[in-house]
């Protein structure tokens, strides 16, 4: 069976409806005989080992991983897994065989196959990192978990909340790690934001405004909400630490295919906290801004700023309640204080994410962005899609 990476410029040829079929029927349509390059069958079992004596050897303390999909994001995963694991990055898989030449030339000792069954059936592989089109996430992850392998899957986790719930349950039943690559949660700037919020420097959170817009590549299988919003939703989920109670969304399609290219999402978290998200494939400029407003101070995160990605503003208002006159007139005092940019470490978020996944495999611990975190994002995306179709109808979560 062959699979392709989640490259924006090429599709999987599978519809979202196909992923709703039971089991891995959606994948069986592209099944082909196994092909393995880079190492022969004996070498694949490990140096000095024979295929028939695998059961006599204890499982290694270092996890053995395979990357599925080598289009847009997959090579980044390969680079980082190889840096951390070396040859314990055992194999890569993609339905386009020519992509395997890059692996064989640049990562000696790493196997390549265009047949996913080779990976699923290999007892020397403990976990799969899935970087394929969204429509294939569910059947691939389900097949891997069923085969007794842990899974790291790209965002969004699945095409529907029902699929995500099934994967979470399957991972729990099989005792396997299920993690979603919400890379921004592992971004040093976002972690600094979390540190600031948790320290109470901002005070009670009042609002969050997020803009992620650019003249982007139109996807053929998902709209702009499913493509861009998972980044900012995962950031806000991480910062706030609780799920929203309702949402409303509006969107419009401009490419003649019924797929929304602009959308606005409003989340109500209760206790006076609301969050707004603007995602857009049509903007002539690229903007990556998040404003977090608190009762004491506010914070601005600009992901495109190479030096000062996070700035804290000691600006706000004070409502006078100290006397009857103040309460009657609702006198507002404006406060203008300092602006400062905290130090942020220079680390590649993807490297941090990959290292965290490996640690979770070694120590059998729950990932920071586990399956349940991925499920919550998919629930929001699914509700946003329904709200858009209902002309902004408010949906309780």
Domain ranges, ordered by start, for the chain: 16-154, 185-351+380-396
CB count in 10 Å sphere of residue 343? 8
pLDDT tens track for 10-20: 333 333 333 33
DSSP result, 251-271: EEE-SSSS-EEEEEEEEEEET
- For residue range 134-190, list pLDDT tens digits in order: 999 999 999 999 999 999 999 999 999 999 999 999 999 999 999 999 999 999 999
Q: Are strands 395-396 and 246-253 parallel, antiparallel or unpaired?
A: antiparallel
Spatial CB neighbours of 46, under 8 Å, sequence gap ≥ 6? 57, 124
CATH number of this structure's domain 16-154: 3.40.50.720
Comparing C-alpha atoms, which of 107, 99, 112 is closest to residue 4? 99
Q: What is the pLDDT of residue 52?
A: 38
H or E element in which residue 191 lies: helix 188-199
Q: Which residue has the higher pLDDT, 95 or 334?
A: 95
Q: In this prediction, what percent of the chain has a pLDDT beyond 70?
A: 82
> Using CA atoms, how far apart are residues 278 and 232, in angstroms rounded to an integer?
10
Lowest mean pLDDT among 166-170, 175-179, 254-258, 347-351: 254-258
The reported pLDDT for the residue numbered 37 is 54
Q: Which band of pLDDT confidence, cut at 50, 70 and 90, is reported for residue 331?
A: confident
The average pLDDT across 185-211 equals 98
For residues 307 and 313, is the Cβ–Cβ distance under 8 A?
A: no
At 43, the pLDDT band (50, 70, 90 cuts) reads: very low
User: Please, which contacts does 164-172 make with residues 24 or more away whose CB atoms are closer than 8 Å?
Assistant: 164/138, 164/371, 164/374, 164/375, 164/378, 164/379, 165/375, 166/138, 166/142, 167/138, 167/141, 167/142, 167/371, 168/371, 168/372, 168/375, 170/142, 170/145, 170/146, 171/145, 171/371
pLDDT of residue 334: 81
The first and second tokens of residue 144, run together, are 């891997």
Confidence band, pLDDT 50/70/90 cuts, at residue 323: low
**How many CB atoms sit inside 10 A of residue 317's CB?**
9
**pLDDT at residue 59 greater than cutoff 80:** no
Mean pLDDT of 289-312: 97
Instruction: Say what the pLDDT of residue 61 is.
Output: 81
Question: What average pLDDT does the segment 350-368 reach?
Answer: 96
Domain 185-351+380-396, CATH? 3.30.360.10
- Strand order of the β-sheet with 36-37 is 36-37, 111-113, 89-93, 65-68, 127-130, 150-154, 178-181
Q: Is residue 290 classed exposed, middle or buried when 0-12, 13-18 and 19+ CB atoms within 10 A define those classes?
A: buried
Do domains 16-154 and 185-351+380-396 share one topology? The answer is no
With tokens 């602009």, the residue in question is 262
In the prediction, which pLDDT does 9 show?
Answer: 38
pLDDT in tens, 230-250: 999 999 999 999 999 999 999
Give the pLDDT confidence score for residue 221 in this predicted structure. 81
Pairing of strands 205-215, 282-294: antiparallel
Residue 151: the pLDDT is 98
Token pair 């858009």 in the structure block, residue: 388
> Per residue in 262-291, pLDDT tens?
999 999 999 999 999 999 999 999 999 999
Please state, in angstroms and rounded to a whole number, the distance separating the CA atoms of residues 308 and 298.
15
Pairing of strands 298-302, 111-113: unpaired
CA pair distance 314, 136, nearest whole angstrom: 46
Answer yes or no: is pLDDT of 58 > 80. Answer: no
Is it the case that residue 56 has pLDDT exceeding 70? no
Mean pLDDT score, 49-76: 70
Do residues 315 and 335 make contact, with C-beta atoms less than 8 angstroms apart?
Answer: yes
Predicted local confidence at residue 3, as pLDDT: 54
Higher local confidence (pLDDT), 39 or 393:
393
R_g (Cα) of the chain, nearest Å:
23
23-37, 148-162, 303-317, 375-389: which has the minimum mean pLDDT? 23-37
- What crossing angle do the helices spanning 371-389 and 224-240 adopt, rounded to 10°? 130
pTM for this entry: 0.83
Average pLDDT, the chain: 86
332-340/395-396 β-pairing: unpaired
Give the pLDDT score at 30.
31
CA distance linking residue 158 with residue 146, whole number of Å: 17
- The side-by-side arrangement of strands in the sheet containing 260-270 is 332-340, 310-319, 298-302, 282-294, 205-215, 273-280, 260-270, 246-253, 395-396
- The three-class DSSP label of residue 104 is helix
Q: Rounded CA gap, 345 and 107, in Å?
A: 29
What is the C-alpha to C-alpha distance for residues 123 and 137, in angstroms, rounded to an integer?
Answer: 21
């Amino acid at each position: 069976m062959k699979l392709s990476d989640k490259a924006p410029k090429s599709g999987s040829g599978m519809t979202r409806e196909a992923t709703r079929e039971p089991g891995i029927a959606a994948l069986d349509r592209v099944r082909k005989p196994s092909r393995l390059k880079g190492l022969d069958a004996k070498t694949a079992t490990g140096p000095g080992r024979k295929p028939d004596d695998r059961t006599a050897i204890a499982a290694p303390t270092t996890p053995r991983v395979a990357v599925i999909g080598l289009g847009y994001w997959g090579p980044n995963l390969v680079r980082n897994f190889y840096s951390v694991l070396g040859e314990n990055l055992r194999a890569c898989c993609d339905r386009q065989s020519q992509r395997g030449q890059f692996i064989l030339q640049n990562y000696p000792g790493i196997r390549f196959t265009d047949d996913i069954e080779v990976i699923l059936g290999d007892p020397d592989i403990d976990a799969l990192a899935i970087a394929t089109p969204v429509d294939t996430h569910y059947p691939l992850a389900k097949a891997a978990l069923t085969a007794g392998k842990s899974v790291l899957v790209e965002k969004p986790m699945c095409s529907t909340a029902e699929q995500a719930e099934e994967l979470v349950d399957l991972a729990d039943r099989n005792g396997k790690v299920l993690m979603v690559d919400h890379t921004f949660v592992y971004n040093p700037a976002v972690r600094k934001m979390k540190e600031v919020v948790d320290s109470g420097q901002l005070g009670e959170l009042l609002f969050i405004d997020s803009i992620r817009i650019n003249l982007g590549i139109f996807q053929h299988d998902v709209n702009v909400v499913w493509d861009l919003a998972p980044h900012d939703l995962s950031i806000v989920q991480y910062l706030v630490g609780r799920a929203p109670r309702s949402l409303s969304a509006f969107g419009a399609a401009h490419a003649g295919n019924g797929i929304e290219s602009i959308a606005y999402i409003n989340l109500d978290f209760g206790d006076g906290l609301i969050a707004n998200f603007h995602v857009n494939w049509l903007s002539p400029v690229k903007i990556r801004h998040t404003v977090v407003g608190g009762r004491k101070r506010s914070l601005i995160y600009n992901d495109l700023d190479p030096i000062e990605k996070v700035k804290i503003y000691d600006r706000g208002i004070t409502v006078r309640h100290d006397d009857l006159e103040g309460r009657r007139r609702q006198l507002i005092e404006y406060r203008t204080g300092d602006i400062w940019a905290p130090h942020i470490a220079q680390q590649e978020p993807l490297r941090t994410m990959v290292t965290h996944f490996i640690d979770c495999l070694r120590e059998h611990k729950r990932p920071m962005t586990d399956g349940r975190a991925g499920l919550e994002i998919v629930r929001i995306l699914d509700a946003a899609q329904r709200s858009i179709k209902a002309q902004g109808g408010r949906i309780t979560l």
